[in-house]
Structure 1
């Protein structure tokens, strides 16, 4: 006698999806504030980077996924879910990772919108073309989630448009939002990793060594190949980062919906382990890169704030010395106008716009009016 256990949908599953959707919409508003329309226009006029990303995403990734399905003998719903993950468009997380790693955010957002739009044709085309070569799914009738693809596009484009309008109409507000993007993106990434695993903990027990290895190879080869093709096309570093991340980060939500709509329970729930494994292991090298980048920023910032040797500065008849850095700044701030009796001129120390390099303001008439100043950096 065969016993079939069907998992009941929980409130936490629905709540997790709703919260993630709201967080991503808020993130897209922020990214809209960071998008430069001039870059978007340039990309659309000369679409070399999007073309590289399109070819990498919709030709290299599906073929790589199909090859891994055959090599690791992933059959049935698990093989279908894995192959569908390789055919999926770029995910919204790619824009966040691109921003945090110093890539071209405007290009990344443009590529995500284009890849999601073209997914209406490319996603089903690959599934129907190679479904007969995936063991165990020959007779499966696919239900392509067209509505969900369009909904994903809408939840991306509408918040982006709002963010762009904020940037155009309220630049100060847009600037404030941009300052909060990095910590907000970090919060989303941590939330997805922790709460996401907790809400799908039952899938962890279905992981296998070959599925883990296949998921890592698929995503990491996407990063490497996308970046390689962008490099040989001589794109700048920021765009190489954007293309590489856009290629390797997949919207695994579409394969999950495909499995839920096309397969019967409990096979549908069990097959979801493929796209979930891809989603879990995909960002690991990106997390490492972000951590290294943040540590390096902190080290560089510390080097800039801590002078390596004492400073000795002669201003007028006063000699200012410094052993730490802050004392000299305090003395310079308190310094009044110094009179030079020989050349009959006055000098005053001020700071340049970056606040670090002092400059001498010279006035022959001892008036020191802004219109009569002659300035020069020390």
Structure 2
């Protein structure tokens, strides 16, 4: 009985404390989002309201102090006030690194609990801190040059595409169908699954998802060639996926993409316009190839050096303007791992699907390259131009991660494969030379044998002739 009374007393005390604390209301000014640049400071005002006269102890702090910190009077006892009074405080926010965090408001019942950081009540607040990188004109230049590079590559692809080859491939459409299913059903679902498994923040999850929805990239054609795949099928699949991206990317963004809009606003109209703008050069290249083949031949020769120069510029500007990406990789392992898991899972999925469709190995390799090697440059341009900051910088992190992790393993595979083939070819050449030598020796032996036989036959004939002549003389 005594224990029950003591338990009831504890419950009543806790209820009284919660009731007391619940009468405190802390609000931040609308819209509740404070933007500050890295290594810069800004002031935010807080209003504390209470329905009763009391002394309370409040502590303000950033939820993630690697993004921002609060300076000044962040831990303070609030003076007593009369009924229905209010207090206004000012806090100084310092941006540390790119990202988004919230302000935690913790309420303590008395000074002892406050000083020992004991039992407390976390009050809901509507304040978000967004830390932005300082505006850099070179970043805009980087996005513009990257857009130009993508346009040139797509235009050059249109110039080189042979529609007759595409028609021939479509006569047996199993490979393109498997590739399309892996590209626009498998990859978006894989990307979405890993955003949920890794529990990525909305902006980064959106970046990974958009990267998974991108069409096959131009480098997939190169890798198909280097790995002895079907280059014609590769170009056909790139044409199909690039054309289909006009409808498939918005489709996925309007469906599963809605899952990432709790803190991120997706400008669907801007994204659709950007997709169409990036693909127009490809259709222009196809028209030029069809109606002015001589001009197409000249332009094809001119596109290659221009593309090479612009790619070098993009690499330089990209590294210079996106060094923050490597800091984020070091800060949270999920970003780089997520960027790696999506394409590598795509390799496995497309390989299994291609073998399931009973396709030959050289076409399996092609579909694997087309599925997993995506044109993440499109994602970077779309997100960089369409989203507000800091979402644009955060979302592009995942697209950059996908573009960085795919080439190294492929280069290693190519080197091992090249060494293996050369060694095998060398051994095969040696075996072939040895066999040829044996055959030559055998032929020479046969020739000598035939020569000896002929000589023996001649000798026999000679001997027979001599014997015949002697016999004739004796007979005479």
Normalised TM-score (structure 2): 0.54
Residue aligning to 1:206: 328
CA shift for structure 1 position 169: 9.4
Q: CA RMSD in A?
A: 4.3
For 1:140 and 1:29, locate their aligned partners in 2 and report how far apart those are by CA, in whole Å.
Answer: 30
Q: Give the gaps of 5 or more residues in structure 2.
A: 1-41, 43-92, 96-131, 447-453, 455-476
Residue aligning to 1:146: 273
For 1:205 and 1:138, locate their aligned partners in 2 and report how far apart those are by CA, in whole Å.
Answer: 22
Higher relative contact order (CA 8 A, sep 6+): 1
CA 1:5/1:83 → structure 2, altered by over 3 Å: closer, same or farther? same
Q: Give the gaps of 5 or more residues in structure 1.
A: 320-341, 343-378
For 1:53 and 1:99, locate their aligned partners in 2 and report how far apart those are by CA, in whole Å.
Answer: 17
Residue aligning to 1:297: 421
Segment drifting more, 106-115 vs 44-53: 44-53
Deviations along 1:268-323, one digit per CA (max 9) or x if unpaired, are 1232111000111123332222112211232234335556759374699999xxxx
For 1:126 and 1:57, locate their aligned partners in 2 and report how far apart those are by CA, in whole Å.
Answer: 12
CA 1:125/1:30 → structure 2, altered by over 3 Å: closer, same or farther? closer
Looking at CA atoms only, which structure, 1 or 2, has the larger radius of gyration? 2
CA 1:82/1:23 → structure 2, altered by over 3 Å: closer, same or farther? same
For 2:444 and 2:245, locate their aligned partners in 1 and report how far apart those are by CA, in whole Å.
Answer: 73
For 1:316 and 1:279, locate their aligned partners in 2 and report how far apart those are by CA, in whole Å.
Answer: 59
Deviations along 1:157-176, one digit per CA (max 9) or x if unpaired, are 7289759958x999xxx9xx
Give runs of aligned pairs for residues 164-183 of structure 1, distance below 5 A: none
Residue aligning to 1:270: 394
Residue aligning to 1:224: 348
Residue aligning to 1:249: 373
CA shift for structure 1 position 257: 2.3
Give runs of aligned pairs for residues 320-339 of structure 1, distance below 5 A: none
Segment drifting more, 133-142 vs 286-295: 133-142
Matched, 1:69 2:191: no
Larger strand fraction of residues:
2
Residue aligning to 1:91: 217
Counterpart contact for 2:217–2:373, Cα < 8 Å: yes
For 1:278 and 1:298, locate their aligned partners in 2 and report how far apart those are by CA, in whole Å.
Answer: 31
Normalised TM-score (structure 1): 0.67
Counterpart contact for 1:113–1:157, Cα < 8 Å: no
CA shift for structure 1 position 42: 2.7
Counterpart contact for 1:252–1:275, Cα < 8 Å: yes
Residue aligning to 2:142: 13
